[in-house]
Amino acid sequence: DTGVSQDPRHKITKRGQNVTFRCDPISEHNRLYWYRQTLGQGPEFLTYFQNEAQLEKSRLLSDRFSAERPKGSFSTLEIQRTEQGDSAMYLCASSPVVGAYEQYFGPGTRLTVT
């Protein structure tokens, strides 16, 4: 297994467009997390899944954001009607249920909204 992968690595979009990011976790991991990180800040938690169930969402996740993990494997994060303030690195991480304190992060998707 090569770890957590994310696609695309970079995305440039115009304000008002919709974007979708994909995350493929480590195959045997049940939990999948999404974070957002802006320059000079630590990652901010957005949401997480255990298998296909979305168990928690941060108040940072406005109604323009939606995340899915339909079969308990890969996950998508969609941002509708993007705003310049959405420009950030979007990070995905996964972990097994046991030992969930240790999270494995992907390389991130850098979103630039122009």
Residues in the site for another protein, rule: CB under 8 A? 4, 33, 35, 40-45, 48, 55-56, 58, 89, 91-93, 100-108, 110
Cα 21 to Cα 44: distance, rounded to the nearest angstrom = 17
Least Å distance, CB 76 to another protein, is 18
Give the residue with the Cβ less far from another protein, 23 or 113: 23
| CA distances (Å), origin 3, targets 7, 79, 93, 106 | 13, 25, 10, 7
Give φ, ψ of 72 to 5 degrees: 75, 15
Give the residue with the Cβ less far from another protein, 18 or 53: 53
Least Å distance, CB 29 to another protein, is 13
Which among 49, 36, 62, 57 has a CA at the least distance from the CA of 94? 49
Give the residue with the Cβ less far from another protein, 6 or 82: 6
Give the residue with the Cβ less far from another protein, 17 or 38: 38
Least Å distance, CB 92 to another protein, is 8
Cα 61 to Cα 49: distance, rounded to the nearest angstrom = 14
